Amino acid sequence: MIAIRQARAEDWPALWPIIEPVFRAGETYAVAVDIEEADARTLWMDTPLRTFVAVNAADGTILGSYFLKFNQPGGGNHVCNCGYIVAADARGRGVASALCEHSQREAIALGFRAMQYNLVVATNTGAIRLWQRHGFDIAGRLPGAFRHPIEGEVDALVMYKRLVDLADR
Amino acid sequence: MIAIRQARAEDWPALWPIIEPVFRAGETYAVAVDIEEADARTLWMDTPLRTFVAVNAADGTILGSYFLKFNQPGGGNHVCNCGYIVAADARGRGVASALCEHSQREAIALGFRAMQYNLVVATNTGAIRLWQRHGFDIAGRLPGAFRHPIEGEVDALVMYKRLVDLADR
């Protein structure tokens, strides 16, 4: 069973070994591959509005995490942005789906009306299918907007989902 | 005649009266309409990689300005982002075009390979036509991603231009 709760400062030592290999690989996140741990911590734990962790309900082991933040200030601040990460040894068990669903409920509760992923790497087909299954549309395609360490310049997708119907005030 | 040069700290007192009404109106920029001058200055002058001003070559009057910054870090840092503003009394004289052309040359000189506008408000049809004329494509459309003070939730466009062909290394 997966439980999702807000991240606490003391989760970081368990979170960083999950996040670090993903950032260092540079294949899915637009983050410097040599980012310092302190900056990664700021990015994941401090800058966002909220950070959550998925844990194994039986033993509390962290299985994954997501952050939720404003995608833009001012007239764009009703749209949020999230980033998700699943521990390498916890993949294929529905953790990403659970995080995605939780993030949408949380976003609605916080008053957001849409969710946007600004840069989904086109080679990350598993993620794209997953977000589509959760109601996200490919709103745009940016030719060569991501430098993949192996593939070179690959397209990036902008994915978007209205959480609240446009007509609903 | 329009001349374009790098902005200097002492330009700010002349720039702010050009920028302030645009930010306060909240119709085209995703910036808090009540932004403090100091924060606006940071946003326009300090955070970007470069800031330029267009001046009347005869008397040095500032006619407009643009900033140029990384759109994303890491694997996305070969794509830049720019924001442009033209003084209300200098519109219709080709200042925005001159700034757009200058920004593309500058971006290429700095090593950028593409330029992206993340949030072009769909009601800002003049700007959309202008960017299209300068080679930008509408890469995506985000339903209701901008709250216009009069129109309510309106679509936002992601506009994008490759500055260097994808095949060129």
Q: A47-85: per-residue pLDDT in tens?
A: 999 999 999 999 999 999 999 999 999 999 999 999 999
| Residues forming beta bridges with residue A145, ordered by sequence position | none
From the list A30, A35, A139, which residue is nearest B76 (CB)?
Answer: A30
Chain mean pLDDT for chain B: 97
Q: For chain A, say whether B13 makes contact (Cβ under 8 Å).
A: no
Structural domains in chain A (count):
1
Give the DSSP letter of residue A12: H
DSSP-derived 3-state class of residue A169: coil
Given a cut of 70, whether residue B36 has pLDDT beyond it is yes
Helix (H) or strand (E) run with residue A104 in it: helix A95-109
What is the value of ipTM here, to two decimals? 0.95
Residue A166 pLDDT grade (very low, low, confident, very high; cuts 50, 70, 90): confident
User: How far is CA A76 from each of CA A131, A162, B34, B76, rounded to the nearest angstrom?
Assistant: 21, 13, 14, 22
Express each pLDDT in B146-166 by its tens digit: 999 999 999 999 999 999 998
Query: Is B160 in Cβ contact with A75 (below 8 Å)?
Result: no
Q: How many CA atoms lie within 13 Å of B164's alpha carbon, on the beta-carbon side?
A: 18
Q: Show the domain range for B93.
A: 2-167
Q: Do B76 and A33 touch (CB under 8 A)?
A: no
Chain B residues close to A158, C-beta within 8 Å: 139-140, 142, 158
Residue A160 and residue A107 in contact, taking contact as beta carbons nearer than 8 Å = no
Instruction: Inform me whether the pLDDT recorded for B123 exceeds 60.
Output: yes
| Ramachandran bin of B111, using left for φ above 0, alpha for ψ from -120 to 50, beta for the remaining angles | left
Average pLDDT, chain A: 97
The enclosing domain of A105 has a CATH number of: 3.40.630.30
Report d(CA A164, CA B42) in Å as an integer: 33
Give residue A169's pLDDT: 57
Q: In sequence order, what are the residues at sequence separation of 6 or more whose Cβ sits closer than 8 angstroms to the Cβ of residue A37?
A: A16, A20
Q: pLDDT class for A167, splitting at 50, 70, 90?
A: confident
**For B21, how many CA atoms within 13 A lie in the half-sphere containing its CB?**
8
Q: Is B72 left (phi over 0), alpha (psi -120 to 50) or beta?
A: beta
Check CB contact of B139 with chain A, cutoff 8 Å.
yes
Distance (Å) from the C-alpha of residue B58 to the closest C-alpha of chain A? 37
Query: pLDDT (tens digit, 9 = 90+) per residue, B1-34?
Result: 899 999 999 999 999 999 999 999 999 999 999 9
Q: Which residues contact B58 (CB under 8 A, 6 or more apart)?
A: B1
Instruction: Work out the pLDDT band at B169, boundaries 50, 70, 90.
Output: low
Closest by Cβ to B74, choosing from A29, A141, A160: A29
**How confident is the model over B110-122, as pLDDT tens digits?**
999 999 999 999 9
Task: State percent of chain B over pLDDT 90.
Answer: 96
